[in-house]
Amino acid sequence: MSIIVVSLKNGKPFLSPTPPSLPFVLFRSLSNTTTNPSSSPTAIITNRQCNSRFNDLQHSVDSFNYIVQMRPFGSLKQFTEILGNIAKMGHYGTALSLIEKLQLLGIQVNTYIINIKINCYCHLNRVDFGYSLLGGLLKCGYAPNVVTFTTLIHGLILQDKTTEAVELFKKLVRKKEIEPNVVMYGLIVNGLCKMGNASSAISLLRIMEEGGCKPNTIAYNTIIDSLCKDRMVDDAVRLFVEMNEKRIPPSVVTYTILIHGLCNFGKWKEATGMLRGMLDIGISPNVQTFSVLMNALCKEGMAKEAEGVLEVIIERGLDPNVVTYNTLIDGYCLQGQIDEAVRVLNNMVDKNIDPNVRSYSILMNGYCKKMKIGEAMRLFREMPRMGLKQNTETFNTMLRGLFQTGRCKAAQELFEEMLVAGQIPSTLTYGILLDGLSKNGHIAEASSFLHMMESNGLDVNIVMYSILIDALCKDKKIDTAMDLFNKLSSKGLHPDVKTYNMMIQGLCEEGLLDESKQLFLKMEQNGCLPNDVTYKIIIRGFLAGQKCHEALILLEEMIGKGFSPDASIVSLVIELISTEVHDHTLEEFLKNFMSKDRQGI
C-alpha cells in the first residue's frame, strides 16, 4: 500500500493507508478501573502556582534587575531564589553572568549562591572551574557543605568521571569532612551502576543502612534497574523483596523496571504477579508501564495484543505519546503488516500527536524489508516538508534498502547527499556500504573503499574486514581473502568466530580441506573457540570431499562439546552411505546419532 499525503488535519499529515498473554488479559480487565488521583490536574495546580513568579527566563532576569536597582539591595534570599530558578531552567550561562554582576556590585554572595555557581559550571562540563570556587568559598568565611560536594560529585559523573567521583566520596567519608546525605549516596549508587558495578552499589546500600542515612526508593530503583540491564533479573527481584521487608515503599518506577526486566526474559507469569502486586497496594500503572508491556508483546510478535494494551491506556484516561505509538508501529512492521502500521500512524495523527523522525524511520525500514523502496523513498523525501530532519538512521535505512534491491548507483548518490547534508556517517553506515557493494558484485570497489577509510584514519573494525573476506571467498578469490585474513593481526585486529567461519567455509568450498583443518586448529590456539557453525562448516566440507574418517572424528568432538549436527550433515551421511563408496563407520555413526536423538540428547 502506498503512503500518500491526501490532506492536512490541524497542519499535520493524514496518511491513506496467538492467544493473548497473561499480562494482556489482566490489563484488559483493568480498563474500567480508576487512575491514580495523584496524577489529576488539581494535584498539579499548587506546584504551578508556587513557581509562577519565575516560570520563564525573561521574567526571572527582569525580577533580578529590579531587585538590583533597589536601594538598599534586595535580600540574598531573593537573589538565591531567582538564580536557583534560572539554573533549574537550564540557563547556566545566564545564571553565571548574573552572579558575576552581583559580585561586581560588591554584593557578598553566600554559600547558596556559590553552590549555584558550582552547579552551573558542572552542567557546562567545567567541573574544574567548580573546584576552583572552593577556595573563594573559604575566603568569604564559608565552609563547603554537603550540597557543595554533592554538586561536584554530580559534575564529575556528568563528565563520565565516575571513578574520580567515587574517590572524592571516599575521601570525604574517610576524613569525616561532611556527613553524606541521601542525595550524595544516590549519586554514587547511580555512578557505580552506570559503570556496571551493581555489586559495589549494593555494598554502599549496606553502609547506608548501618549509618544514619537510610537508602530511599530512588537508590533501590537505580540498583534494580542496573541488575535488570545486566540480565540479573532474579537478583533484582530479590532486592525488591528486601526493599519491601525493610518497608521502603516501591514506586510505579520500581514496578515498571521489574516488569520490563521480567518481560525481556519472557517471564510473563512473574510479570503478571508483579503487576497484581502493584495494584494491590494502590499503585496505578502509568504510560511507561503500559509501554513496556507493549514493547515486550511486539517483540514476541503479538502486535495485535499490544494494540489492545494501547486501548486500555486510552480507556484509563492516560495519554499515550509518540514513543508508545512508535512501539506499536514497529511491532506491526516486524510482522510485515505495513498497512496496519500505517493505520496506527494515522490514528496517532488523528489524536494530534506528531510523528517524529523515529516514526518515519520505522515505516521506511518496514517498506525496505518488503522491497518497496519507492514507498520508502517517498517517505524519506516527505520528511523535510513535514519539518523533520533526516538523520544518520534514516539515511542508513535507505542505503540498506537501495543495496538490497541492487540499486548501487542510487545508494552511492544518496551517501554523497548524506555528506552534503552534514550528516556524519556512523560505523554502521560504512558497514552498509561495504556489505552492499560486496554483495552486489562490486568487490574491487568495496576493497578500494575500505583502503580509503584506512588512509583517512577512519575506524575500520573486524566486522568490515569480515564483510570483504566473505565476499572474496564467495567470488572464489580465496588467495586474496587469505592474504587479507593474514594481515589482520598487523592491523591490530583479531578475527572473531564469524571471520574464521567465513574463511574456513571458503577453503572447504575450494576443496582445500587440509588448509581448512589447519586454520580450524590455529583458531583455538589463538584463543577463538569454534562454535556449532564452525563444526558444521568443516564437517560438511570433509563429508563432501569423502574424507569420512576425519569427518567422524570432528563429529564426535562436536557432540562431545554439546553441539548437535544439523539436518544437512545427517543428509550428507545418508547420501554417502547410499553410494558405492560407503563407509561402515558412517553407518555406525548414523545408528548412534539416531539413538541419541530419540533419547533427546
Domain positions in the chain are: 531-601
Distance (Å, rounded) from C-alpha 187 to C-alpha 201?
Answer: 10
Rounded alpha-carbon distances, angstroms, from residue 386 to 11, 320, 381, 392? 9, 21, 10, 18
Phi/psi-derived region of residue 243, left when phi > 0, alpha when psi is between -120 and 50, beta in every other case = alpha
- Ordered mean pLDDT values, 10 residues apiece, the chain (601 residues): 32 39 44 41 32 66 86 81 91 91 84 90 90 80 87 90 88 83 88 86 85 86 91 92 91 94 87 87 89 89 90 88 94 94 94 94 95 94 93 95 94 94 91 94 92 86 93 93 92 93 95 94 91 90 84 84 76 64 60 53 43
Peptide bond into 72 cis (omega under 30): yes
* Strand 12-15, strand 5-9: pairing: antiparallel
Q: Are 454 and 422 in contact (CB under 8 A)?
A: no
Query: Which of these, 503, 442, 434, 436, lies nearest to 470 by C-alpha position?
Result: 503
Q: Other C-beta atoms within 10 Å of 29: how many?
A: 10
| Residue labelled with grid coordinates 576524613 | 175
At what angle are helices 357-369 and 373-385 packed, to 10 degrees?
170
Query: What is the total residue count of the chain?
Result: 601
pLDDT of residue 563: 83
Whole-number pLDDT of residue 482:
95
Cα 479 to its chain centre, rounded Å, is: 39
**Distance in angstroms (rounded) separating the CA atoms of residues 41 and 446:** 59
CA distance 381 to 116: 46
Count helices and strands (H / E) in the chain.
Answer: 33, 2
Cα–Cα distance between 69 and 59 in angstroms, integer? 16
Residue 353, C-alpha cell as written in the block: 500527536
Rounded to an integer, what distance in angstroms lies between the CA atom of residue 571 and that of residue 554?
16
Which own/partner pairs from 359-364 qualify as long-range (CB within 8 Å, at least 24 positions apart)?
359/322, 359/325, 359/326, 359/329, 360/388, 360/394, 361/393, 361/394, 361/397, 362/326, 362/329, 362/330, 362/333, 363/3, 363/329, 363/333, 363/338, 364/394, 364/397, 364/398, 364/401
Q: How many CB atoms lie within 10 A of CB 20?
A: 15
- The three-state (H, E, C) secondary structure of 67-113, written as one string: HHHCCCCCCHHHHHHHHHHHHHCCCHHHHHHHHHHHHHCCCCCCHHH
Residues 372, 523: Cα–Cα separation, whole Å: 42
Cβ atoms < 10 Å from Cβ of 328 = 28
Q: Give pLDDT, residue 32.
A: 40
CB 133 within 8 A of CB 112: no
Contact 504, 519 (CB under 8 A): yes
Assign 6 to helix, strand or coil. strand
CB 309 within 8 A of CB 272: no
Q: Which among 383, 374, 392 has a CA at the least distance from the CA of 356?
A: 383
Q: Where are the alpha helices (DSSP H) in 230-372?
A: 233-245, 252-264, 268-280, 287-299, 303-315, 322-334, 338-350, 357-369
> Which residue from 85, 76, 132 is spatially nearest to 105, judged by alpha carbons?
76
